[in-house]
Structure 1
């Protein structure tokens, strides 16, 4: 590290530590907005950037579009005059540190779509000043920071590690988790150079009072995030496949999991469900699968897990059809009440939710559906826009079956237990159902 570089990194570090640095966040979604709120609460001035004007307007009006981020928190940061939400990317010239928290979906061919990262990086290159820190937080394949972000910034004249510091630190946001949030979840960070790593470590230690694990390169940090979610994908696939086997063998998979969980070492419980949802588990392993293919590696275990999890919506519908037949009813044109659209309980996020695929299959079977979800008012499946309805005794009484796909805590399960003629619970809802026609996945 040269004397000049050391001087620049020290000046930026001091600016961060004294909270005189202005922080920019590109992407005000489930990752960026909670982080922006946290940084304002820590005493920083924050500028949030997003191309979606509807989001900007909601924030400016003190509204929250994220279920576990109370609107009071949004109103507080707006009233503090320490936060600005904008779609004017020229204001990147005002920030000292910028975090890229944009979506990283897959293409129709199931390959990485990093166009949002590229677009954000071009905006940074066009507007940011020297002696600043850029951190990519979006989940992506190993090599993105060094092979995509760094060359774009260098095209705009920046010298990485000298007059601009660049690092990768994967987001670890778990919507709906009441125990872990931005403020207490450890961070992993890898810098392009030693100076990049030092400044980014100081940044995270200052803005969130939690452990910061430094790694030798952005590639390591990018890979560890894919490991986190691929680990979950494979273990969920294992228990989903086991649930199918247990069903055929007339064994309660939930009892099996409970029994295995009594072992104090060497076992970690995962639970079956109608599939996997959200941005992470259905998408991130595909990035790793693609990255392996680029290096001639066929990740057969990841691919197999993907197929197992993708099979679960069909397995759920087939099970429901069997339970209806026991009652001398057919799935075709049955009156079904569906509980839950979101991919996990107590959030308003339906991205990649397996419930959407189950609902589509039921619609294809000409079922008459009543869909109940306290966190979602409208949603789309293929070309159809559907509405949810409130839970009432009358709706349950007229249903041929109640299908629980998401175990929201706000649902009155006692009402369902008392009024339903058939319940199929794919989530082992924590309620002691007494209904004689109650079935678990």
Structure 2
């Protein structure tokens, strides 16, 4: 339940997974909120009480939207900014694979002419080290006429939202904060603590920016390694998951990762290339990230090739019925951003296999402007397990054979495809 409103106002720029979580937390902490997004469709959905994401409830969004102090807008010219502004806009890659910080530029320009002396502006969007100091703060200074660090508090605090995670939420996950100055850092730390969030203060904005890239590049490289490890286990007729289970019994020096059909999501496939971009600029080499990228990109094709090989051996190709079980990028969410299922569909289609899909969270799945047919209820020749959703029908009940590249149900002595009685 929302607390009594304070006189302070927080403006949140960008109302996706990150920004909506911040807006709800600020509202619940007693702040008045200006919720800003350039997409009027997002605002309309939120005003209907539909969060559109799994980390925020409909009741929380309804409470935020119906509060008379809340302003939801696509135009900051018509809205109060207040004492704090938090920028949570997307930072994807360009078609050429370079960092795309255009949304950060747009948000900074939208805010710059509307902020007063003493305002705290924090950037939460994942980006290359130096963005806050070299790009974001100068834009704010140019548009506001205020000096960042003295007249304006500027900080970077990387988002740590894990869609669908009910244990590690926005308010229970420590928040890293780096300020342009020690004073900026203190102001930002005080703000996030007022939301009930534990705070870790970084040496500066670059260290805070780099910490986020370290977190996700660590996962990127280790996912690549365990996918490669699983392929070696297949070739040697070894149960990869049992080996991982045994290694995980070590109470120190080992963190388990599990294989899958590739790599997906809103951060891990993208963030390492914000690091390599800046590394290239300063002449540093990142061969491990490049190697990991090559492995991760190869996995969907390897999945499709194993399925094709099986179908040929069974005399079922062409014309086989292949069913994809779970197409979102992680369990129990509807999020399709950069899901590995996209690569699997492309690889299957390149082999003249047109799959169907079943996913209780995803009603429609389109790849390259071509819809993937929903499961028609018939028995498939092969089910490919891409994601394990709670309550989803067992793949063994949907197909004569099951291929599980995630490893969790690989037969002990025969990893990969198996016949189902």
Place the TM-score, normalised by the shorter chain, in its bin.
over 0.9
Per the alignment, residue 338 of structure 2 pairs with 352
Per the alignment, residue 406 of structure 1 pairs with 387
Give the superposition deviation at 1:142: 0.3
Per the alignment, residue 261 of structure 1 pairs with 248
Q: CA RMSD in A?
A: 2.3
User: Does structure 2 conserve the Cα–Cα contact (< 8 Å) formed by 1:377 and 1:387?
Assistant: no
Aligned partner (choices 204, 210, 219) of residue 217 of structure 1: 204
Change (3 A) 1:69 1:438: farther
Report the TM-score, using the length of structure 1 for normalisation.
0.89
Cα distance in 1 between the residues matched to 2:141 and 2:397: 65
Secondary structure at the aligned position of 1:223 is classed as helix
Per the alignment, residue 422 of structure 1 pairs with 401
Change (3 A) 1:325 1:128: same
User: Does structure 2 conserve the Cα–Cα contact (< 8 Å) formed by 1:40 and 1:82?
Assistant: no
User: Does structure 1 conserve the Cα–Cα contact (< 8 Å) formed by 2:32 and 2:70?
Assistant: yes
Change (3 A) 1:46 1:346: same
Secondary structure at the aligned position of 2:35 is classed as strand
Aligned partner (choices 307, 311, 315) of residue 294 of structure 2: 307
Change (3 A) 1:74 1:65: same
Q: Does residue 53 of structure 2 align to residue 66 of structure 1? A: yes
Secondary structure at the aligned position of 1:189 is classed as strand
Aligned partner (choices 298, 302, 305) of residue 285 of structure 2: 298
Per the alignment, residue 160 of structure 2 pairs with 172
Per the alignment, residue 194 of structure 2 pairs with 206
Aligned partner (choices 6, 24, 30) of residue 17 of structure 2: 30
Per the alignment, residue 380 of structure 1 pairs with 366
Give the superposition deviation at 1:375: 1.6
Per the alignment, residue 5 of structure 1 pairs with none
Flag structure 2 segments of 5+ consecutive residues without an equivalent: none
Report the TM-score, using the length of structure 2 for normalisation.
0.93
Query: Which structure features the higher share of helix residues?
Result: 1
Per the alignment, residue 169 of structure 2 pairs with 181
Give the superposition deviation at 1:298: 1.5
Aligned partner (choices 116, 132, 135) of residue 119 of structure 2: 132
Aligned partner (choices 75, 82, 103) of residue 95 of structure 1: 82
Cα distance in 2 between the residues matched to 1:33 and 1:388: 31
Per the alignment, residue 10 of structure 1 pairs with none
Per the alignment, residue 101 of structure 2 pairs with 114
Aligned length: 414
Q: Does residue 267 of structure 2 align to residue 286 of structure 1? A: no
Deviations 1:89-131 (A, max 9, x none): 1245432101100000111221111000000000111222222
User: Does structure 2 conserve the Cα–Cα contact (< 8 Å) formed by 1:92 and 1:127?
Assistant: no
Q: Does residue 327 of structure 2 align to residue 341 of structure 1? A: yes
Secondary structure at the aligned position of 2:265 is classed as coil
Cα distance in 2 between the residues matched to 1:430 and 1:22: 51
Give the superposition deviation at 1:439: 4.3
Per the alignment, residue 328 of structure 1 pairs with 315
Change (3 A) 1:184 1:82: farther
Change (3 A) 1:411 1:100: same
Instruction: Report the more deviating stretch, 371-380 or 102-111.
Output: 371-380
Give the superposition deviation at 1:232: 0.4
Change (3 A) 1:419 1:123: closer
Q: Does residue 149 of structure 2 align to residue 161 of structure 1? A: yes
Instruction: Report the more deviating stretch, 178-187 or 76-85.
Output: 76-85
Secondary structure at the aligned position of 2:269 is classed as helix
Cα distance in 1 between the residues matched to 2:373 and 2:116: 47
Cα distance in 2 between the residues matched to 1:378 and 1:406: 16
Change (3 A) 1:94 1:101: closer
Change (3 A) 1:284 1:168: same
Give the superposition deviation at 1:82: 4.2
Give the superposition deviation at 1:325: 3.5
Cα distance in 1 between the residues matched to 2:199 and 2:293: 31
